[in-house]
Amino acid sequence: MNWKGHITLGIIMGLPFISSPEQIFLVVAGALYPDLDHDVKSEIVERGLYISGGLILISILAYLFRPEYFNVGFFIASVFGGLIYIIPYYAKHREITHTFLSLVFSSIILGYLTFKLSVISPIMASLIALIMVTNNNLLGKAVSISVFAWVLYSLISKSIIAFQGLEYFIIPIAIGYLSHLIGDCMTPKGCKLMYPSKHIFRKKEGFFGIVIWLTLVFYVIKIM
Ligand SMILES: [Zn+2]
């Protein structure tokens, strides 16, 4: 599935789980993240590794030579930023990034990072999450589609549920991520969702993924 398909599926599957416009950026970030393992996305991964590596180095230098400037929160955020890119850097296409293990790990890390950045502004923090997984070419398109989707959604529907705190950031990313995995399962190549098991999940299991998503939708409707 290409990026347009992943963004579209991500937005459709993510809408029941969001309550604020900027969360669409998070859904789209989650939907695009797994394909950072693709060679054509290596510039995004390398950019991310250089930036997070630089920020970690700044923290270490501050700790050693200017302890009064050292901030443990900033250091942890920099390390988390690095982890987001280390995984796709070493991954082969449709391997570890296309698994439930990575869904949980990467959604929590990227969600936590965005949560920490949200003290400045939740909108800016969510936009940064999207910037982190896109290049110049893709970013403008991804933002435009996200904003268009929100306008459409706000005209025809209203929010089902409003998550708070960390969940506000992690859940939309995880649902976007899930949509990517389901989308790729539907293609002939399939993916090994249950790593370390080597079983390849295809169309049949993809439909099962949609059932899981529908169950989650009914769950949020029930608890609202
Ligand atoms: Zn993929």
Give the pLDDT means over successive 10-residue stretches in the chain (224 positions).
93 92 94 92 94 96 95 93 94 91 96 93 94 93 92 78 90 97 92 88 88 90 75
Give how far Cα 48 sits from Cα of 55, 114, 141, 182, 186, Å: 11, 15, 20, 26, 30
Cα separation, 78 vs 108, whole angstroms: 15
How close is the Cα of 107 to the center of ligand 1, in Å?
A: 15
Q: How far apart are the first and last CA of the chain?
A: 33
Distance from the alpha carbon of residue 93 to the mean position of ligand 1, in angstroms: 8
Q: How far apart (Å, rounded) are the C-alpha atoms in residues 175 and 39? A: 24
- Residue corresponding to tokens 């459409």: 152
What's residue 50's pLDDT? 97
Predicted pLDDT of residue 113? 94
In this prediction, residue 77 carries a pLDDT of: 92
Give the model's pLDDT for residue 17: 92
| Dist. CA 116–CA 81, nearest whole Å | 12
Which two structure tokens, joined as six digits, stand for 74? 């900033």
Report the pLDDT value the prediction gives residue 159, as an integer from 0 to 100: 75
Ligand 1 center–CA 1 separation, angstroms: 7
**Domain boundaries along the sequence of the chain:** 3-223
Q: Identify the pLDDT of residue 162.
A: 82
The pLDDT of residue 134 is 95
Cα-to-centroid distance, 198 and ligand 1 (Å) = 17
